[in-house]
C-alpha cells in the first residue's frame, strides 16, 4: 500500500461554477472524510460536491491511473493494484486497507465497479464504515433482476411478461422463448450498463445470444445467470430518479429519456421526455416510490421503464446507485444528487421532503462523448494530444462538462472509453438542442477517435428535433453504421465558403503582414458521401475582403462567390463574416442562413482537415493552376483487404472458431475479441478457405491487426 503524495491541483474542469447548487447547510454534520471507490469523471464529480460540503476526500487508483486528474484533486490517494479492474477497483481487500489507512468514515462507490455489490456493502458495515448508497438488503434485492421483478409485481409495479426463475442453459432459454413468444431479450441477472444483453428473434439467435450474454455477464459481474423476457418492440427507455433518506422520506424526480442507445448502452439522454404527459409521469413516479418503499430504500436510485407508443410502461430494472446521466436531472430540478446521497448516509433528511416542491425547470440534454469509432461503436485507445472542452454559450450555466481527464491523459483499454458527459440546458428543448450543437462544434479532441460526429448528426436530425425516437433510433437511422455527414446544397456551400475564408486568413496570419491583394480565388475539393463511396465535390470560390486589411484576431467580412463546377449545386454570391480568435482552434461564420462553427484540426499537404457539423472533412485547397495540373496525376491504388479478417479494436482474443484449411461461408464466425468487457463476434467478410490464423485464445491484438487470412476455394 503506497500513499500518493498530496497534490494541490486544478478544480474539476467544468463550465458550471461550483456554486450552482447553492450553499450547503454547513451547520449539519455529515462526514469529515470520505473515500471514493471509483475513478475518472465520477470520482471528480463526487470530489466537487464533497469539497462544497467541507468534506475531505480520499481517492484510490490503479497503476494506469497514477497521474489521473481525480487523483490530483483528492486530498489523499492510495494505490490499490495493477491496471486490470479485478486487481484494483474490484479488489475489496486493497480498498478496505485504504479506508483503514486514511481513516475515511464513509465510501461513495460512484457507478460501475463495486457500486452495486451487496457483498462490498456488507464488508463495509462489518468494518464500521458508512456506505453512501442503499442498505445491503435493498441492493441485493434490486440488484438481482429476477428477484427485483418478483418484488416489483408485489409492489404493484407494471412488469414485462417473462420467466421469473433462473434459466438453466441455452436449451432452457429456447423453451422459455417459445412459451412467451418472440422476440425475446436475454439479459444478465446481475449488473447493468448494457453488458450481458442480447435480443433474439429465432431459436438459433437464442442459443448464440445465451452464450455471449452469459460470458459477458460472468466477465463483467462475476455472475453468469441470465433471465429471459418478452422484448417490447419500438419502445422508449424512460427512467425515474428517486431519492430517499433514513427517515422514510422518498421523492421521485422528473423522468429522463434514455432511448438513444448503442449496444444497449445510453448515448444521448434528455430530461424531461417529449413522450410523457403529466398523468403518465405521475403514475411512473408513484410506482417508483412504491417499489423503493417496499424494499426500504434510503439513497439515490433509478427505476427504469420501457414505454410503448400508447404510453403503457413496464418495469425494466432498478439501479441502486447514482446514474451516469444524473447531471440532466440536476439541471432541471436544482438538486445535487451526490449531496442528497451523502446526507442520507449520514442520517440527515433530504434537503426537501415535499413532493409538491419538485418542479421542472427548462430542458436538459446529455451527450456521452466516447473514445470510439462512431461507425461500429468500437473503442479507441490513445493519448489525448489536444483536449479543449466547450465553453458556455448564451448563459453562464448552459454548458456543463463532467470529465476526469485533461490534455495528455490516456484512454486505456482497461476501462470504459467515455471521455466526458457533455450536458446543455435551456428554457426550451429547442434551446437545449441549439446549445448542444454549438458545444459539440467547439469540442476539440485529438489523439483518439471519438463519437462527436455521430452525436452532432443525431442531435441536429429532424427526427430528434421532433421527438420521434425509440431504442432502435441508431439502428434505424444508421443501419450500416454511421458513415459521416452527407453534405446538402446548403451545407456544402457553407463549408466551401468557410474553408476558403479560413485559407485566406491562415495565409495572412502566416505572413504576419498585410495581404497584397484583397481578393483570392481557390479551387476546393470537398469529400462528399455517396452510396458507392466518397467522391470529391469541386467548388471554385472567389473571396473579396470588404476592408483594407485582414484582421488577425476578430471579424473579417468578405463578399464570396461560390460555383460548384460539377453542376450538382447552384452558384451563390453572399456576404460572409468570419470571426477568428487566435487563442481558439475554430472560426465562427456569420452566414446568411445562420451561424456555424468550423474547427481547424490539422494541416494537410494540399489543404487542411476541419470539423464541420461534427464530421471531419479533409479539404484540398488549390490555386486554379494547381487544379489543372492535378488532373494529370494517377490516383493511388487501394490495398485489397477483402480476404482479411482484421481486429476492429485493441483487445484480447476470447476464442478462435477456425483453423487453416477450413472452408467458411460469408458471415461465419471466425473469432471473438473482448475489449472493455464487451465481446464482439468477428465474421468472415466473404466465403473462402482459411489460409492462415495469426491469433489464439488469450492473444492481445491492436486495431487493424490481421487475425485470419482467406483465399478462394
Percent of residues, the chain, with pLDDT higher than 70: 91
Q: What is the CATH number of the domain that holds 678?
A: 2.40.50.100
Does residue 150 fall inside a structural domain? no
Sheet holding 418-426, edge to edge: 313-319, 300-307, 236-244, 250-262, 265-271, 363-370, 418-426, 399-403
Residue, of 220 and 280, whose pLDDT is higher: 280
User: Which tens digits make up the pLDDT trace of 648-676?
Assistant: 778 889 999 999 999 988 888 899 988 76
The residue segments making up the domain with residue 596 are 489-630
Distance CA 703, CA 635 (A): 26
pLDDT band for position 2 (cuts 50, 70, 90): very low
Predicted pLDDT of residue 17: 37
Domain final residue pick, 477, 500, 515:
477
Does residue 432 fall inside a structural domain? yes
User: Which tens digits make up the pLDDT trace of 138-172?
Assistant: 999 998 888 899 999 999 999 988 887 789 999 99
Does residue 306 fall inside a structural domain? yes
pLDDT band for position 574 (cuts 50, 70, 90): confident
Q: Are residues 278 and 312 in the same domain?
A: yes
Predicted pLDDT of residue 11: 30
Q: What is the CATH number of the domain that holds 537?
A: 3.30.700.30
Q: Are residues 384 and 500 in the same domain?
A: no
**Chain mean pLDDT for the chain:** 88
Question: To 10 degrees, what angle do helices 337-345 and 40-52 make?
Answer: 70
Inter-residue contact 592 to 574 (CB < 8 Å): yes
Domain final residue pick, 230, 252, 282:
230
Predicted pLDDT of residue 206: 94
Domain count, the chain: 5
Predicted pLDDT of residue 9: 32
Q: Are residues 498 and 619 in the same domain?
A: yes
Does residue 452 fall inside a structural domain? yes
User: Which tens digits make up the pLDDT trace of 386-422?
Assistant: 999 998 888 888 999 999 999 999 998 888 899 999 9
* 205, 208, 211, 217: CA torsion to nearest 10: -50
Is residue 12 left, alpha or beta, with left meaning phi > 0 and alpha meaning psi from -120 to 50?
Answer: beta
Residue, of 446 and 25, whose pLDDT is higher: 446
What number is the average pLDDT over the span 532-557? 80
pLDDT band for position 514 (cuts 50, 70, 90): low
pTM of the model: 0.81
Q: Are residues 298 and 409 in the same domain?
A: yes
Structure letter (DSSP) for residue 299: S
Does residue 623 fall inside a structural domain? yes
User: Which tens digits make up the pLDDT trace of 291-300?
Assistant: 999 999 999 9
Above 90 in pLDDT, residue 49?
A: yes
β-bridge mates for residue 631, sequence order = none
The closest of 196, 199, 180 to 188, measured between CA atoms, is: 196
Above 60 in pLDDT, residue 265?
A: yes
Distance CA 437, CA 485 (A): 14
pLDDT band for position 638 (cuts 50, 70, 90): low
Above 90 in pLDDT, residue 303?
A: yes
Choose, from 317, 340, 366, 588, the residue flagged as catalytic. Answer: 317
Distance CA 337, CA 243 (A): 8
Above 70 in pLDDT, residue 285?
A: yes
- Phi/psi at 153 (5° precision): -60, -45
Predicted pLDDT of residue 512: 60
Our answer to whether residue 317 is catalytic in this structure is yes
* 395, 397, 398, 399: CA torsion to nearest 10: 130
Residue, of 509 and 299, whose pLDDT is higher: 299
The closest of 380, 334, 448 to 704, measured between CA atoms, is: 380
Q: Are residues 215 and 248 in the same domain?
A: no
User: Which tens digits make up the pLDDT trace of 426-468?
Assistant: 999 999 999 999 999 999 999 999 999 999 999 999 999 999 9
Above 90 in pLDDT, residue 546?
A: no
Does residue 326 fall inside a structural domain? yes
Above 70 in pLDDT, residue 515?
A: no
What number is the average pLDDT over the span 683-707? 89
Residues in the chain, overall count: 713
Most confident of 98-102, 552-556, 597-601: 98-102
Amino acid at each position: 500500500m503506497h500513499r500518493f503524495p498530496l497534490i494541490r491541483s486544478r478544480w474539476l474542469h467544468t463550465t458550471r461554477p461550483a456554486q450552482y447548487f447553492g450553499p450547503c447547510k454547513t451547520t449539519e454534520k455529515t462526514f469529515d472524510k470520505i473515500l471514493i471507490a471509483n475513478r475518472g469523471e465520477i470520482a471528480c464529480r463526487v470530489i466537487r460536491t464533497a469539497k462544497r460540503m467541507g468534506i475531505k476526500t480520499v481517492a484510490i487508483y490503479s497503476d494506469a491511473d497514477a497521474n489521473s486528474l481525480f487523483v490530483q484533486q483528492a486530498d489523499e490517494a492510495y494505490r490499490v493494484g495493477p491496471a486490470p479492474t479485478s486487481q484494483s477497483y474490484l479488489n475489496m481487500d486493497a480498498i478496505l486497507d485504504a479506508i483503514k489507512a486514511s481513516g475515511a468514515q464513509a465510501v461513495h462507490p460512484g457507478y460501475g465497479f463495486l457500486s452495486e455489490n451487496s457483498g462490498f456493502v456488507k464488508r463495509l458495515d462489518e468494518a464500521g464504515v458508512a456506505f453512501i448508497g442503499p442498505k445491503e438488503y435493498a441492493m441485493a434485492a434490486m440488484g438481482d433482476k429476477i428477484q427485483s421483478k418478483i418484488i416489483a409485481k408485489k409492489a404493484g409495479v407494471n412488469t414485462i411478461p417473462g420467466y421469473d426463475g433462473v434459466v438453466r442453459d441455452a436449451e432452457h432459454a429456447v423453451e422459455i422463448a417459445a412459451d412467451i413468444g418472440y422476440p425475446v431479450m436475454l439479459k444478465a441477472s446481475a449488473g447493468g450498463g448494457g453488458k450481458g444483453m442480447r435480443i433474439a428473434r429465432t431459436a438459433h439467435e437464442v442459443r448464440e445470444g445465451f452464450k455471449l450474454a452469459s460470458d459477458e455477464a460472468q466477465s463483467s459481474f462475476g455472475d453468469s445467470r441470465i433471465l429471459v423476457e418478452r422484448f417490447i418492440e419500438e419502445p422508449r427507455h424512460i427512467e425515474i430518479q428517486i431519492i430517499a433518506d433514513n427517515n422514510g422520506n422518498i421523492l421521485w424526480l422528473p423522468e429522463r429519456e434514455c432511448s438513444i442507445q448503442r449496444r444497449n448502452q445510453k448515448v444521448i439522454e434528455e430530461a424531461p421526455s417529449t413522450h410523457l404527459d403529466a398523468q403518465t409521469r405521475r403514475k411512473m413516479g408513484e410506482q417508483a416510490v412504491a417499489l423503493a418503499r417496499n424494499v426500504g430504500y434510503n439513497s439515490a436510485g433509478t427505476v427504469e421503464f420501457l414505454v410503448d407508443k400508447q404510453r403503457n410502461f413496464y418495469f425494466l430494472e432498478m439501479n441502486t446507485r447514482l446514474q451516469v446521466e444524473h447531471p440532466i436531472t440536476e439541471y432541471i430540478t436544482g438538486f445535487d444528487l451526490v449531496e442528497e446521497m451523502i446526507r442520507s448516509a449520514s442520517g440527515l433528511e433530504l434537503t426537501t421532503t415535499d413532493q409538491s416542491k419538485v418542479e421542472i425547470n427548462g430542458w436538459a440534454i446529455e451527450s456521452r462523448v466516447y473514445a470510439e469509432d462512431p461507425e461500429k461503436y468500437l473503442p479507441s485507445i490513445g493519448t489525448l494530444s489536444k483536449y479543449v472542452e466547450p465553453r458556455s454559450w448564451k448563459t453562464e450555466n448552459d454548458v456543463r462538462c463532467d470529465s476526469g481527464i485533461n490534455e495528455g491523459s490516456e484512454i486505456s483499454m482497461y476501462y470504459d472509453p467515455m471521455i466526458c458527459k457533455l450536458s446543455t440546458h435551456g428554457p426550451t428543448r429547442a434551446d437545449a438542442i441549439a446549445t448542444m450543437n454549438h458545444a459539440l462544434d467547439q469540442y476539440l479532441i485529438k489523439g483518439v477517435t471519438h463519437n462527436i460526429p455521430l452525436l452532432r448528426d443525431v442531435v441536429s436530425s429532424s427526427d430528434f428535433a421532433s421527438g420521434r425516437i425509440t431504442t432502435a433510433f441508431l439502428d434505424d437511422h444508421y443501419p450500416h453504421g454511421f458513415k459521416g455527414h452527407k453534405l446538402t446544397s446548403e451545407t456544402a456551400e457553407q463549408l466551401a465558403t468557410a474553408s476558403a475564408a479560413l485559407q485566406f486568413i491562415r495565409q495572412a496570419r502566416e505572413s504576419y503582414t498585410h495581404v497584397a491583394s484583397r481578393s483570392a480565388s481557390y479551387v476546393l475539393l470537398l469529400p462528399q458521401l455517396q452510396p458507392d463511396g466518397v467522391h470529391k465535390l469541386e467548388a471554385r470560390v472567389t473571396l473579396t475582403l470588404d476592408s483594407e486589411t485582414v484582421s488577425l484576431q476578430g471579424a473579417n467580412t468578405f463578399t464570396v462567390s461560390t460555383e460548384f463546377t460539377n453542376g450538382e449545386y447552384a452558384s451563390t454570391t453572399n456576404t460572409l463574416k468570419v470571426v477568428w480568435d487566435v487563442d481558439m482552434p475554430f472560426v465562427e461564420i456569420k452566414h446568411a442562413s445562420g451561424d456555424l462553427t468550423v474547427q481547424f484540426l490539422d494541416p494537410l499537404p494540399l489543404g487542411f482537415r476541419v470539423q464541420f457539423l461534427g464530421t471531419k472533412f479533409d479539404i484540398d485547397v488549390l490555386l486554379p493552376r494547381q487544379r489543372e495540373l492535378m488532373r494529370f496525376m494517377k490516383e493511388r491504388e487501394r490495398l485489397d483487404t477483402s480476404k482479411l479478417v482484421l481486429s476492429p479494436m485493441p483487445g484480447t482474443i476470447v476464442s478462435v472458431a477456425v483453423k487453416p484449411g477450413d472452408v467458411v461461408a460469408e458471415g461465419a464466425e471466425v473469432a471473438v475479441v473482448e475489449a472493455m468487457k464487451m465481446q464482439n463476434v468477428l465474421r468472415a467478410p466473404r466465403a473462402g478457405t482459411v489460409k492462415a490464423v495469426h491469433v489464439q485464445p488469450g492473444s492481445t491484438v491492436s486495431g487493424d491487426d490481421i487475425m485470419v487470412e482467406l483465399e478462394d476455394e
